[in-house]
Chain A
Amino acid sequence: MSKELRVNSKYIDQTTRIPFKFNGKTFYGFKGDTLASALLSNNVHLVGRSFKYHRPRGIMTCGSEEPNAIVQVSNDPSLTEPNVRATEIELYEGLEANSQNCWPSVNFDIGGINNFLSPFLPAGFYYKTFMWPASFWEKYEFFIRHSAGLGKAPTKPDPDIYDHQYAHCDVLVIGGGISGVIAAKLSAEKKLDTILLDDKKDLGGVSIYNNDDNFKINDQNVSKWLSNEIENLKKYPNLSIKTRTSLAAFHGYNYLLAKENLTDHLNVNDRKDKIRQRLWKIRAKKVVIATGAIERPLIFNNNDRPGILLSSSIKKYIDYYGVKCGTKISIFTSNDSAYETVLSLYKNGVKVNSIIDIRDKSESLIVKKVQDIGIKIYWKHTVVNTKGYKRINSIELMKLNEKGTGVIGDKINESCDCLGISGGWTPMVHLFTQSGGKLEFNRIDNMFIPNENKSSSEQISVGSCNGDLELDDIIKKTNLKTKEFLDINTSIFDSLKIQSSKEKNKKNIWLLPSDKPLGKTKPFLDFQNDSTAKDVKLALREGFKSIEHVKRYTTTGMGTDQGKLSNMHALGIIADTTGTNMGELGTTTFRPPFTPLTFGAIVGRNVGQFFDHTRYSAMHNWHETNGAKFENVGQWKRPWYYPKNKESMHEAVQRESKAARDSAGILDASTLGKIDIQGTDASEFLNRVYTNAWSKLQIGKCRYGLMLNEDGMVYDDGVTTRLGENHYIMTTTTGGAANVLNKLEDYLQTEWPELDVYLTTVTDHFSTISICGPNSKKIVNKMIPDLDLSDQNFPHMSFKNSSINGVRCRVMRISFTGEHSYEINIQSNYAKNVWEMSMEAGKEYNITPYGTETMHLLRAEKGFIITGQDTDGTLTPVDLQMDWIVSKKKYDFIGKRSLYRSDTIREDRKQLVGLITDDPNEVLEEGSQIVEDLNKKPIEMLGHVTSSYFSPNLNKSIALAVVVSGKNLKGKKLFVPMENKNINVTITDTVFYDKENKRLNA
């Protein structure tokens, strides 16, 4: 640290020195410094290069609006973070920061050549240049990609922990400056649940370091009064204060997102196992926005050199951080607030060289004080140029003409190492507009302020974000507005004695005139994206009218700072150039987030194992122990196949499929949806939701049902069993379970409330063990010897209540494989034991557990569809060649009318067919296209393969497909064109195996 640049400050800990690295070099700062203040105290102004022209750029502000001083933090490939504002990084031990957008170094940057090419790089340069010739695009792309983007993304996963938390409160106060503190106190006094947020480490905003004797509250310095108020806030149990918490988004219904930084300020070694950032999801009954205002720059030639800072930032650096931004400082202003900076500097031993003020005069209290000190003020002057490549070393000023449209007289040269600029104030209305609020233009102070008459949500803006810039206005209006908003009669702030300075003379020039034509100057508007006033004017000349278009064409306001500094000037220059009123051509939309959010904060803990739910069946541990590979089906983990002795998936599936048909297979079918249906109208209800008839189904019998949407397309399928007169159990597909229940509830509640039917899901209550194959009967008999399994007593498509070792179970004789098979449904907490018993009982029959892949293969051999695989919401039962399941007699069921719409009765719809390949060993790829004429151009796609397997039981490849008019094309030869070959296929029946269903009763 340079001793000459440090003065005493009570706001930071000047006894604790902290080392840090910037661009590889070690520096020191104090605890409480930001990276920016620490760098400035080391006399480092040059911190980065601009995006387009690679011009040297320095720290310009002290807050979230910083456009230039954005750095890459940390060299660790998993922790490195680009585009962090040096003004917001609290100094910590182990901090490593580097400049961005420069190569090989910030001091010598090759890209700087762009600055000299700048006459050839006007707005829209990239759009205009890289359009043609099209064939060159690949070459351009390399160049553009190389020059695009700021900073470097981490290359390894983020090891940090992020968290989310919902909060509900009566009042949320955003911003802990003087207005926020007043509002929060009023709310807390009223006993309302209150949350107060501030993005800094301490509350107090800019007033906390206001020790200027010209401003007093109850005869105390503002700083002292406010410190006391903040101290008093701690006594309210109903007030929760969150610092280092920045509001990111203000959504409808007062739903707000705020990011709390929990470890970024800690020494690197103290961060382990702690949450780095927490995203608060806040639902507030009422919101008080007290986000303050930020100072505007002034727009003049070469206004971007390192050493040029916002005047209010110079004030914060000296008053709060105890850092002088320079030793020869000049101030260039359009308003009174810069004079506060002059007084602060003077108090700390820096007498400002000169003040350049565009106004004719100012008669306020503080200006008088400055004049009394004897500082030279150039009234009605403007800076026309600055000099110094990596740090400003002098300014040139000239007198403004009467109207302020040009300059006159001689050029005056002033040397300086720092220039403070102040172009007035911009209220932070971002959050107000994010919530849907509309703005109005205040012509006196040239700023947009909230128009609260046009806001629909429960919120107010107080303090300078509401356009109140003078201390007494801020306090009085905050008090009044908050009282009215929270329905408070009298307040402790009603009778404060406030002493303030009032600005009486106002003047604003969006683009300051120069002695040179605009084309020869560089008045920067958007410092990060290097767009100048010239670019905006060019865009207007080229016909862009809407502000949104100008913004995109010139990239003004599109940097990481989202134009916090540049937007107002862009609007002003557009208004002046086009002769329209401010905002007449639109204002830009402020979209969330207010400041960039990390991806970590957005996703919170929803990463890794918590990315999505995982559902497990009761037998999951068994599957795992026995080497199952799992497939994700919906959120379920289902056994896919069970490889033995390093089998490949194909080998395992072939073995499992064979075993299921030759002897016995066992499947965990617990994931199927199960809905318990009760009520006197249960049969009628099923009649209405399924395509087939249900009234005559006997108790104890099962039936397969197909469910359609009202548009006639197949929606879901499954077996439903009649357990009693008015009692059924319906099964649905695994993926469709929740949707089917919702859909059925919907019909019951809204279309057929007269039906006496109740639905209750029991998917998780019962686990289902399916045992199939010619030996399944013997196995089930061993397990449940009391149950008569004879075909007479227990035929296919029937069910029996039974019990295993005293625990009730429901056994269904139903089959999805075409084999003789049983499904045992038992309470889930006993299911793993029953599964183990089945394995034990089936041992002598080589009972083979099989997964979803084998299940799919076996059912495909039988031509059974899987909804969602063979269907895609565009197929009717007729398209599936399942006409047999559509009742002709029923008057109505869901989707019936749609089955004979002109479109659904077309003969040339895609229909489900079987496919066999000429080469029996050639297995088609699911999803591949089917064509008839390979020479026709464009090739006509007739359909696609929906399911395809090599069948070990048929010893050939089989497939299901949907093909235009497929029903009538049996025997037709078609092609499946692949990348390297055309596969010859023939259309067949959909049933490949045991067409007579003999095996069901084998």
Chain B
Amino acid sequence: MLNFETPIQEKKSYNDLTISEVEPIIKINLRSRKREFSAKIGKILSIIPPVESNMSSINDNYSLLWLSPDEWLLYSNNKINKYEEQINLEDKLFNQISKLNQGAVTNVTDHWVMINLNGNKIYDLLSKGCPFNFNDFMSKKGSVAQTIVNHTDVILHNIDKGNLNLFVRRSFSKHLWSWINDSARFI
């Protein structure tokens, strides 16, 4: 097997705040405008793609995030142990969705890096570089926002108040990680 290397591999704690890279997590981008798509996904994953904007569906294994009316991000709730897990899931979805012209399945496991932010001050921290209004978002379980943090595109998944997964593109992740750490000093 090849050596596996994610860009951050760190966990840091500050006052009332813990941030850590959580990898490896499977991430698969789903796109479709087909009517049958939702049921098909439901059958494969036992989870229905959310129709409500800025929301997510979560079961034991997966979270499925609304990104736009025809786009969702699927990710595994737990770290995977084996490389094959992502390939098997990708193939299963690709064969039943893409191959059957029901939409597009794209493995984006290494496109995104998932950073978990935990603590009461995480919204203040993000607000240092993010124009998004967290007032309603923070108390809503499972809410999703695609926005910019320190000029970088991110996807935010609010698991619960004070517990949030942030997805940032791999190439931007180191830079954003240093920015988050820098800002966390002043929270």
Contact = CB atoms under 8 A, between A and B. Distances in A.
- A adjacent to B, CB under 8 Å: yes
Interface stretch (B12-20, B41-49, B155-163, B178-186): B178-186
A777 to B, nearest CB: 22
B152 interface: yes
Interface residue tally on A, bucketed by range? 35 or more
Given A616-B171, A765-B109, A805 B2 contact: yes
Contact of B4 (A676, A804, A808, A829): A829
Contact of B127 (A165, A612, A671, A761): A165
A610 B179 contact: yes
A93 B150 CA distance: 36
A489 interface: no
B171 A678 contact: no
A962 B93 CA distance: 50
Nearest to A274: B186
Given A616-B7, A762-B111, A833 B2 contact: yes
A758 B104 contact: yes
Contacts of B6: 829
Contacts of A549: none
Interface in A143-189: 161, 163-168
A613 interface: yes
A168 B133 contact: yes
B83 A807 contact: yes
A727 interface: yes
A983 interface: no
Interface in A689-739: 724, 726-727
A758 B131 contact: no
A897 interface: no
Given A760-B106, A764-B169, A727 B3 contact: no
B5 interface: yes
B119 interface: no
Contact of B128 (A168, A605, A724, A832): A605
B175 interface: yes
A808 B5 CA distance: 16
B31 A805 contact: no
Contacts of A613: 150-152, 172, 175-176
A915 interface: no
A828 B23 CA distance: 13
Contacts of B152: 613
Contact of A618 (B7, B103, B179): B7
Given A760-B106, A761-B111, A765-B110, A281 B131 contact: yes
Contact of A605 (B31, B87, B112, B182): B182
B104 A679 contact: yes
Contact of A764 (B31, B83, B134, B171): B171
Most chain A CB within a 10 A radius of its CB, from B99, B110, B151, B169: B110
Contacts of A805: 1-2
A636 interface: yes
Contact of A166 (B87, B105, B108, B130): B130
A952 B127 CA distance: 53
A617 interface: yes
A164 B83 contact: no
Contacts of B31: 678, 758, 760
A806 B31 CA distance: 28
Contacts of A283: 131, 133
Contacts of A828: 110-111, 170
A742 to B, nearest CB: 12
A826 to B, nearest CB: 8
B50 interface: no
Given A804-B2, A833-B5, A610 B130 contact: no
Nearest to A727: B98
B5 A829 contact: yes
B101 interface: yes
A762 B5 contact: no
A281 B130 CA distance: 10
B135 interface: yes
Contacts of A616: 7, 171, 174-175
Interface in A594-623: 605, 609-610, 612-618
Contact of A678 (B2, B98, B174): B98
Nearest to B132: A166
B1 A829 contact: no
Interface in A970-1000: none
A680 interface: yes
A818 B151 CA distance: 38
A634 to B, nearest CB: 10
Contact of A832 (B5, B99, B130): B5
B148 to A, nearest CB: 11
A587 interface: no
Contacts of B111: 761-765, 828
A295 interface: no
A615 B133 CA distance: 27
A827 interface: yes
Contacts of A610: 150, 178-179, 182
Interface string B36-57: 0000000000000000000000
A900 interface: no
A498 to B, nearest CB: 37
A679 B124 CA distance: 42
Contact of A808 (B23, B87, B186): B87
A193 interface: yes
A615 B1 contact: no
A242 to B, nearest CB: 14
A283 B186 CA distance: 22
Given A615-B172, A762-B107, A808-B87, 18 more contacts: A163-B128, A168-B133, A193-B135, A609-B178, A614-B175, A618-B7, A679-B104, A758-B31, A758-B32, A764-B110, A765-B110, A766-B110, A805-B2, A827-B109, A827-B110, A829-B5, A829-B109, A833-B5
9 contacts: A167-B127, A168-B133, A616-B175, A679-B104, A727-B98, A765-B111, A830-B3, A830-B5, A833-B5
Which 7 residue pairs of A and B lie closest in terms of their CB atoms, listed nearest first?
A758-B104, A678-B104, A765-B111, A615-B171, A764-B170, A758-B31, A833-B3
